């Protein structure tokens, strides 16, 4: 039967052959194109803008526009010099599987409508379970990516703990992926319900840190429900001590979620399995086949140890889907196991590519990536001007170029300039990050097309490049107008009059006596605009602290920022004096800082008043406003934050 959207058989063949030929030509030599071709919004509108056509066009002409105007303006993650972010290389069988799945277009939410496709997904999920060493009874599903997988897992975890509550808390490390902050926001978790914990010098989460935070939260009446550990952090590739964390979680009846989005598939190699020891003890695991299993995007996965909890959390059976109910033993409706009702055939690309190449080929590709990362580490160590910031772990290496006499800001400026210069050659692309507040160049080697020569060229670029030219001196900063009116505060009392208890987490009384002259003498605010000082007066409150008074307690959820106006304050971790803050100093900046999504560090130290004095307290929102309003203050705080993180 003819219909308006039909193509005749020969036209379909011609279109298919033309598409395959164009793609094969593109994929035959990925290094022939620049690793990244940028474009402005104006250029893209000029090439691609315009209203939709009313009349039919020629498919060949449409395909030519895609090849000429769409595909070139992107990063080539299959380029041998692509070492930025998390590369997503794919294979030709997986791409053809995507075409097959799209053309067949099965609905993969119900067994009744796609029995074979559902079984393929069940097989793939069981492969993953076996590779990670999780027990029988583990269930899971394929989702769009790691973000969706993390959300799915934590919704199940919260449901297992009794459901939503304002007292529940979840723990993440400061190296956790930002998708966990987005997950927390989607779940409606307030800032005090996400506890960001510091990592150690190897960027791993200490079991002792977790145990101490959990105990403190229980004493405060909070209800810990989940810990999110990393099995391949995005920053450094670090793997948390999973076996030890599993012991803590078992003892505390805490759900252990492991984000192994990119790193989990290293379990296919002996080296990777050793690094991931303990992952099989997790209650849930996130995996991204579109990363180190070389699948096209989008393809994520989540595994739940007690698989029955998926349906207890997500299954809903409206009347209009009565006919979709599964009936036979082993029949599964994946729509009952996750957020999506409408589901495509994601499993086919994994199933087809693994059956085409075999696991030996995938193991070899992953092992080769691990070896190239170790080569990059050795090359960094061989150059006196380069500093290894984080060792090669699961394909990630972090380093930086050191410049005699350059402070942190100048080191970052020069490092960024070298990254830009490398990109401009078109031969390689790397990204940057900050480790404990310090700039680092980051290589992520997950690409089967990369060679030793590609890695050597990148390291040599950073080792041999001349110092980038300093930019022209900027004009003096003109302070921006205040972005918003001062936050509402309780009515001010006369100077010296106590107006009630201090904020949560503080046992100091409040005295409202903002004094702009005092603020202008503070080193942190040196050179700040008068309008900024006036806004601080309106936003902040002054606290009088008595000798011996605890201003901050370690592990508390309060995130206020304090400037010392007078007195002395001891900063203590585990009975160890870290420093003493006096007039002109400040504390609380780590907790006040936005880690992501409005969430921040838990208090990492206790602060006691050693000599009576006065403090100026700002909320975390006001702290962020100050940082955004005053570039000079932001720069000073960046240096100080780096120092504080070294003491964590």
What is 51-120 written as a DSSP string?
PPPSS---HHHHHHHIIIIITTSSB-TTSTTB-SSS-----HHHHHHHHHHHHH----S-GGG-HHHHHH
More confidently predicted of 534 and 290: 290
Closest C-alpha among 434, 576, 445 to residue 79? 445
Under 8 Å between Cβ of 193 and 257? no
Which residues contact residue 601 at a Cβ distance below 8 angstroms, ignoring those fewer than 6 apart?
174, 196, 197, 198, 590, 591, 593, 595
Q: What are phi and psi of 275, to 5 degrees?
A: -65, -35
3-state helix, strand, coil in the chain (%, to 5): 45, 15, 40
Least confident among 35-39, 166-170, 619-623, 641-645: 641-645
Q: What is the mean pLDDT of residues 90-108?
A: 98
pLDDT band at 537 (very low <50, low <70, confident <90, very high): confident
Question: Greater confidence, 225 or 529?
Answer: 225
Give the model confidence (pLDDT) of 338-359 as tens digits: 999 999 999 999 999 999 999 9
- 3-class secondary structure, 439: strand
What does the block give as tokens for 80? Answer: 């041998």
* Count of Cβ atoms closer than 10 Å to residue 356 Cβ: 14
Cβ proximity of 191 and 599 under 8 Å? yes
The pLDDT of residue 516: 60
* CA-wise closest residue to 427 among 45, 30, 57, 134: 30
Q: What angle do CA 630, 632, 635 make, to 5 degrees?
A: 110
**pLDDT value of residue 648:** 65
Domains of the chain: 7-46+59-75 (no CATH), 100-309+335-349 (3.40.640.10), 361-464 (3.90.1150.170), 509-646 (2.60.120.10)
**Does the structure show a pLDDT above 50 at 579?**
yes
Exposed/middle/buried for 144, CB within 10 Å: 0-12, 13-18, 19+?
middle
For 29, which DSSP code? -
pLDDT digits (tens, 9 = 90+) for 173-182: 999 999 999 9
Rg (CA), the chain: 28
599: which strand partners? 596
Percent over 90 (pLDDT), the chain: 83
The encoded tokens of residue 199 equal 């990592």
pLDDT of residue 641: 85
Q: What confidence score (pLDDT) does residue 638 get?
A: 84
Q: Which residue(s) pair with 169 in the sheet?
A: 224
Q: What is the mean pLDDT of the chain?
A: 91
CA distance linking residue 454 with residue 452, whole number of Å: 5
Residue of 204, 231, 237, 241 lying closest to 131 (CA atoms): 231
* Mean local confidence (pLDDT), 517-529: 82
Residue 80 pLDDT: 98
Between 265 and 322, residue with greater pLDDT: 265
Cα–Cα distance, 602 to 557 (Å, whole number): 6
Q: Is the pLDDT of residue 513 over 80?
A: no
Confidence grade of residue 1 (pLDDT, cut at 50, 70, 90): low
Q: Going edge to edge, which strands form the sheet with 576-581?
A: 550-552, 606-611, 568-573, 576-581
Per-residue pLDDT tens over the stretch 73-88: 999 999 999 999 999 9
DSSP output for 554-574: TT-----EEEE-SSEEEEEET
Q: Sorting pLDDT into bands at 50, 70 and 90, what band is 523?
A: confident
Token pair, residue 583, equals: 């007039």
| pLDDT value of position 319 | 86
Say if residues 646 and 436 touch (Cβ distance below 8 Å): yes
Given this model, what pLDDT does residue 497 score? 34
Copy the structure tokens of residue 310: 């998926």
pLDDT at 325: 73
Instruction: Return the percentage of the chain with pLDDT > 70, whole number.
Output: 92
Between CA 556 and CA 600 the distance in angstroms is: 12
Pairing mode, if any, of strands 168-173 and 223-230?
parallel
Written as six digits, the tokens of 313 are 């959390």
Residue 474 has pLDDT above 70, yes or no: no
Q: Residue 213 to residues 69, 159, 178, 208, 641: CA-CA distances in angstroms?
A: 53, 22, 21, 9, 21
The predicted structure's pLDDT at residue 502: 36
The residue assigned the tokens 């006499």 is: 405
pLDDT of amino acid 506: 38
Distance CA 172, CA 259 (A): 10
Distance, first Cα to last Cα, the chain: 71
Q: How far is the CA of 479 from the CAs of 12, 344, 539, 592, in angstroms?
A: 62, 52, 18, 23
Strand order in the sheet with 438-444: 386-393, 396-401, 438-444, 431-435
For residue 498, what pLDDT is reported?
Answer: 32
* Two tokens, residue 563: 């400037």
Beta-bridge partners for 192: none
Q: Which residue has the tokens 């100091």?
A: 508
Confidence of residue 514 (pLDDT cuts 50, 70, 90): very low
> Could you tell me the CA-to-CA distances from 448 to 81, 196, 275, 597 in Å, in that order?
11, 35, 21, 34
Distances (CA, A) of 28 to 70, 331, 437: 18, 42, 41
- The answer to whether 88 and 44 have CB atoms below 8 angstroms apart is no
Sheet of 541-545: strand order equals 509-511, 541-545, 613-618, 561-564, 586-587
Which tokens is 418 given? Answer: 């070298």
- Tell me the mean pLDDT in the region 4-21: 97
Helix, strand or coil, per DSSP, at residue 7 = coil
Q: What per-residue confidence (pLDDT) applies to 326?
A: 64
Return the pLDDT at 584.
Answer: 85
Average pLDDT (225-241) is 98
């Amino acid at each position: 039967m003819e219909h308006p959207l039909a193509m005749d058989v020969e036209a379909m063949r011609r279109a298919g052959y033309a598409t395959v030929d164009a793609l094969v030509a593109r994929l035959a030599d990925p290094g022939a194109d620049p690793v990244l071709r940028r474009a402005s919004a104006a250029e893209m509108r000029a090439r691609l803008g315009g209203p939709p056509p009313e009349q039919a066009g020629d498919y060949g002409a449409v395909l030519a526009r895609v090849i000429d105007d769409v595909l070139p303006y992107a990063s080539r993650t299959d380029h041998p010099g692509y070492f930025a972010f998390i590369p997503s290389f794919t294979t030709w069988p997986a791409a053809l599987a995507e075409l097959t799945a799209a053309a067949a277009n099965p609905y993969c939410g119900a067994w009744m409508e796609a029995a074979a496709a559902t079984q393929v997904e069940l097989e793939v999920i069981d492969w993953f379970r076996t590779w990670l060493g999780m027990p029988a009874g583990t269930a899971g599903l394929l989702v769009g990516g790691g973000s969706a997988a993390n959300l799915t897992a934590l919704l199940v975890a919260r449901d297992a703990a009794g459901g939503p509550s304002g007292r529940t808390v979840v723990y993440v490390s400061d190296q956790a992926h930002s998708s966990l902050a987005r997950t927390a926001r989607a779940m409606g978790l307030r800032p005090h319900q996400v506890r960001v914990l510091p990592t150690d010098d190897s960027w791993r989460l200490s079991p002792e840190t977790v145990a101490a935070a959990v105990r403190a939260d229980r004493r405060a009446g909070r209800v810990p429900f989940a810990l999110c550990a990393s099995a391949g952090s995005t920053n450094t590739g670090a793997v948390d001590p999973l076996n030890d964390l599993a012991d803590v979680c078992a003892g505390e009846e805490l759900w252990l979620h492991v984000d192994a989005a990119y790193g989990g598939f290293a379990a296919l190699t002996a080296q990777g399995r050793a690094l991931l020891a303990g992952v099989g003890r997790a209650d849930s695991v996130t995996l991204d086949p579109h990363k180190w299993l070389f699948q096209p995007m989008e393809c994520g996965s989540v595994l739940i140890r007690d698989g029955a909890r998926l349906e207890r959390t997500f299954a809903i059976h409206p009347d209009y889907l009565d006919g979709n109910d599964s009936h036979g033993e082993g029949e599964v409706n994946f729509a009952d196991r996750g957020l999506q009702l409408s589901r495509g055939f994601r499993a086919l690309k994994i199933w087809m590519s693994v059956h085409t190449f075999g696991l030996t080929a995938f193991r070899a590709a992953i092992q080769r990536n691990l070896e190239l990362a170790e080569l990059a580490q050795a090359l960094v160590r061989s150059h006196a001007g380069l500093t290894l910031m984080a060792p090669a772990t699961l394909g990630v290496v972090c380093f930086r170029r050191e410049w005699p006499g350059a402070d942190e800001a100048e080191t970052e400026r020069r490092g960024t300039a070298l990254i830009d210069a490398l990109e401009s050659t078109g031969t390689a692309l790397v990204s940057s990050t900050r480790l404990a507040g310090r700039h680092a160049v980051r290589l992520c080697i997950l690409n089967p097309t990369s060679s030793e020569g590609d890695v050597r060229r990148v390291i040599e670029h950073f080792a041999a490049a001349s110092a980038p030219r300093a930019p022209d001196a900027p004009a003096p900063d003109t302070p921006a107008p205040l972005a918003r009116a001062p936050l509402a505060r309780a009515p001010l009392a006369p100077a010296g009059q106590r107006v009630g208890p201090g904020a949560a987490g503080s046992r100091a009384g409040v005295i409202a006596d903002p004094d702009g002259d005092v603020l202008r003498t503070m080193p942190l605010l040196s050179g700040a605009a008068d309008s900024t000082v006036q806004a601080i007066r309106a936003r902040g409150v002054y606290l009088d602290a008595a000798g011996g008074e605890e201003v901050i307690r370690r592990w508390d959820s309060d995130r206020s920022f304090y400037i010392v106006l007078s007195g002395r304050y001891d900063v203590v971790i585990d009975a160890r004096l870290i420093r003493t803050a006096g007039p002109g100093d400040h504390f609380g900046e780590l907790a006040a800082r936005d880690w992501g999504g409005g969430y921040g560090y838990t208090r990492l130290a206790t602060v006691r008043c050693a000599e009576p004095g006065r403090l100026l307290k700002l909320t975390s929102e006001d702290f962020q406003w100050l940082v955004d309003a005053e570039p000079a203050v932001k720069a000073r705080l960046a240096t100080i934050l780096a120092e504080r993180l070294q003491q964590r």
